[in-house]
Structure 1
Amino acid sequence: MRAVVFAYHDVGVNCLQALLDAGIQVDLVLTHHDDPHENIWFGSVARLCEEKQIPYIQPSASELLSLTPKLQALAPDYLFSFYYRYMIPADILSCARIAALNMHGSLLPKYRGRAPVNWAILHGESETGASLHIMEAKPDAGDIVGQVAVTIGPDETATDVFAKVSKAAVAVLKSVLPQLIQGQVPRKPNLLSEGSYFGGRKPEDGRIHWAQTAQQVHNLVRAVAPPYPGAFTDFQGQTRIVAKTHLGGPFPQGLNLQTPGVQVVDNRVFGICGDQRALEILEWYPANKTS
């Protein structure tokens, strides 16, 4: 079996390695240049390709469609997309002789679209996972080929959960590879009406609104905790990143639970929320901190 792979991030590295381990011939990898303005805390697909001597290219989104003749000439059995960030044109998807498959970081049909792990934590989910599905022109809408679920702990951050999802992605792929190698693609309907689509998140979306409930604020902090841009608030004329919070107490008697915002009592820092509950800020630092 021969494949062309679109890949980035840890999921891209691990799933590409799983294909190689299974004996899939990877004729070409398409990946991204790292963004110099992004905190690159994850593995490099380009580096893996160099180590394994696999041809790879790093086209811009606008260059993808022009690559159609090249991919048609390769005539792969499968196209795989593992955390590739651009929409892949339908003309390219049709180059796959058997199927074009994408790995998505949620339990489809829930949390289709961008940043699925972050959104799941933000909404207080206790479970998410990885789903391999048929690629169609509409994102994350094709039939489901395989899924593996993972738990989300009440204090786990997006990085914690992403590590679980990365392992789940490899588990999904390995579970279906024996069938894929035989040219058989298991599939079940992706019932879009039972889920929702979410867009990308911007750093400004991390602003804490203390009028929200304590649970909502805690979930936001977990969802965007560093190495993501972080939740933030203003305190004494300074913008501060809130990196870690705790809901459980016990809390000092001197807290004023009637006024939402940040309070410092007994050298401890607390956020008072709109439901008149407090959470303790365990880690925070100036937003302009350079190290």
Structure 2
Amino acid sequence: MTATTLKPHPVTAVVFAYHNVGVRCIKTLLARGVQIALVVSHEDNPAETIWFESVTALCHEQNIPCITPDDPKLPDLKEKLTAIAPDFIFSFYYRHMLPLDLLAQAKRGAYNLHGSLLPKYRGRVPVNWAVLNGETETGATLHEMALKPDAGAIIAQTAVPILPDDTAYEVFGKLTVAAEQCLWNALPGLISNDFQTLPNDLSVGSYFGGRKPEDGRIDWQQTAQQVYNLYRAVAPPYPGAFTDQFGQRFIIGKARLNTKESTNLPPGLHVVDNVVLGVCGDGRALHITELLMNGKIVTVAELTALATTA
């Protein structure tokens, strides 16, 4: 008589996810053999530029149940999780805080992937804030979820560089890969319950709120580096750094720091030697290679005509 070998019970998860990070991390869970019982995502906002991949489309492709409630605090969602009784709850770029009674439905823990090297840049849109503040490095952090946002113990981190000319969009591409790597490397330990945590010391960290399109308004009195960082932080497909001049609103589509010496021109937009410059408070300038007005590229000749008639 031979002994029967019991197959290990599959590890189950409920996943809250959105955006490219949500798509890649769901694929990572599946590749690691995690059984996803339910995905909770968002309906796309018609007022938002949707440049990223769709979690709901991935779930349809993979035959994973997916719902998009307006509020994760709704009682019926808790009932669903209670019935599933998942081993884990994961949050990958989901835009709402999850209540503690919901997190408690995970038998083996609830974990979030945040787009910074915690405890720095807790809160909203961490990539945009990091670029705006001129950081040279950021990354992805997998951490336990707690009452406060991005405050739980750290499971794993993966760093990426922010190069001097990187836009937030480019950094977000690196961060998506970092998130996938971070989760991939951490999952075996989570599944086997053989992992260690690191403290998430909020006293040495930072917290930032969300950003609105109006926050992209350029203050030409700032230094060229500050204005350049703003451009990089909100460059398309984000709403863009903008200025109102000559009776029009202009958005900087593409730019770089001008390597020439400082100019005596007043702050603002200028055409010099057939080049569009954004002159800043320190006398240095941005060389603007793509300037947009009403969603269309403005030529040097058109800008010169507007400046002449203003």
In the TM superposition, residue 183 of structure 1 has moved relative to its aligned partner by 2.5
Q: Which residue of 1 aligns with 2:166?
A: 156
Q: Which residue of 2 aligns with 1:246?
A: 256
Q: Which residue of 1 aligns with 2:264?
A: 256
Q: Which residue of 1 aligns with 2:89?
A: 79
1:98 to 96, 101, 108: 108
Matches within 5 A, 1:15-54: 15-54=25-64
Residues of 2 paired with 1:147 and 1:169: CA distance? 8
Residues 140 and 248 of structure 1, relative CA distance in 2, 3 Å threshold: same
2:113–2:140 Cα contact (<8 Å) kept: yes
Q: Which residue of 1 aligns with 2:206?
A: 196
1:6 to 12, 16, 36: 16
In the TM superposition, residue 246 of structure 1 has moved relative to its aligned partner by 1.4
Q: Which residue of 1 aligns with 2:289?
A: 282
SS at match of 1:92: helix
Q: Percent identity?
A: 59
Q: Which residue of 1 aligns with 2:238?
A: 228
The amino acid of 1:213's aligned partner reads: T
1:65–1:91 Cα contact (<8 Å) kept: no
Residues of 1 paired with 2:258 and 2:295: CA distance? 29
Residues of 2 paired with 1:100 and 1:63: CA distance? 16
In the TM superposition, residue 281 of structure 1 has moved relative to its aligned partner by 1.3
In the TM superposition, residue 263 of structure 1 has moved relative to its aligned partner by 1.4
Aligned residues: 287
In the TM superposition, residue 249 of structure 1 has moved relative to its aligned partner by 2.1
Matches within 5 A, 1:111-126: 111-126=121-136
Q: Deviations over 1:49-104 (max 9, x none)?
A: 11110111000026544411210111111000000001111110111111100000
In the TM superposition, residue 235 of structure 1 has moved relative to its aligned partner by 2.2
SS at match of 1:61: coil
Tell me the TM-score normalised to structure 2 length: 0.89
Residues of 2 paired with 1:185 and 1:41: CA distance? 36
Residues of 2 paired with 1:63 and 1:126: CA distance? 37
Residues 133 and 65 of structure 1, relative CA distance in 2, 3 Å threshold: farther
2:140 to 122, 130, 133: 130
The amino acid of 1:274's aligned partner reads: G
Q: Which residue of 1 aligns with 2:215?
A: 205
In the TM superposition, residue 181 of structure 1 has moved relative to its aligned partner by 1.3
Structure 2 alignment gaps of length 5 or more: 1-10, 298-310
In the TM superposition, residue 180 of structure 1 has moved relative to its aligned partner by 1.1
Q: Deviations over 1:23-64 (max 9, x none)?
A: 001000000111111110111110111111011100002654
Over the aligned positions, Cα root-mean-square deviation in angstroms equals: 1.5
Residues of 1 paired with 2:59 and 2:157: CA distance? 27
Q: Which residue of 2 aligns with 1:273?
A: 280
| Bigger radius of gyration among the two | 2
The amino acid of 2:58's aligned partner reads: L
1:121–1:219 Cα contact (<8 Å) kept: yes
4+ residue runs of structure 1 moved beyond 6 angstroms?
none
In the TM superposition, residue 195 of structure 1 has moved relative to its aligned partner by 1.2
Q: Which deviates more, 60-69 or 42-51?
A: 60-69
Q: Which residue of 1 aligns with 2:176?
A: 166
Q: Which residue of 2 aligns with 1:143?
A: 153
SS at match of 1:28: strand
Structure 1 alignment gaps of length 5 or more: none
Residues of 2 paired with 1:187 and 1:248: CA distance? 45
Residues 274 and 232 of structure 1, relative CA distance in 2, 3 Å threshold: same
In the TM superposition, residue 283 of structure 1 has moved relative to its aligned partner by 1.2
In the TM superposition, residue 267 of structure 1 has moved relative to its aligned partner by 1.6
